[in-house]
Amino acid sequence: MPVDPLLQTLRDVTNFLRSQRLGYALIGGLATAVRGEPRSTLDVDLLVNCDVQRCLELIGGLDGSAFRPLFPGVHEVVQTAFILPLVHRQTSVKVDLALGLTGFEQNAIRNATPVSFEDNTVAVVSAEDLILMKTLAARPRDIDDVAKIVVRQGDALNWDYILTTAAALEQAIGQDLVAPLERLRGDQ
């Protein structure tokens, strides 16, 4: 039976990160499918416990791995956008490794829980942290994802954690996060 390219890429990237002794959490569309409703996605997004220097070293270690940089000059993207875009050599599936540089991101990696994807166990960001990340991103698809996660998780959500963390993030970055989350909570 053929292997799903997305799952093969997920298996290979998590094995690669484990071999590099880097903590991670699955985020993005695949995490949304686990914590909310299944939806289509074409890539694998991970938050990685990695600083810029260590990430630049990872690029040098990609030869012989299942991955290559998505494009030339990826070093600059790592240093300015704090993300390492890769592509799986065999499946051509794109992988984004977001550097977990903030306390919130590092905490999200620690809060991740193991989820089985066929023959692979993957650390997946918690529903609460995924809600916060998607509220921060605030794109229409992210807002829709948040609503679906809230419905799916229901009473299992730790709203105290969500609202306390949102208030701290709101103060740090000046983006209104608490009010939309309170409205969403009230709708439930």
Task: Assign domain 1-125 one CATH number from 3.30.460.40, 3.40.50.720, 3.40.1280.10, 1.10.390.10.
Answer: 3.30.460.40
pLDDT in tens, 20-79: 999 999 999 999 999 999 888 899 999 999 999 999 999 988 998 999 999 999 999 999
**pLDDT reported for residue 2:** 53
CB 47: neighbour CB atoms within 10 A? 27
pTM: 0.94
Tokens 């193991």 sit on residue: 114
pLDDT in tens, 146-158: 999 999 999 999 9
pLDDT of residue 1: 45
Determine contact, residues 35/130, Cβ cutoff 8 Å: yes
pLDDT of residue 188: 63
- Confidence band, pLDDT 50/70/90 cuts, at residue 185: confident
Domain residues of the chain, as ranges?
1-125, 126-188
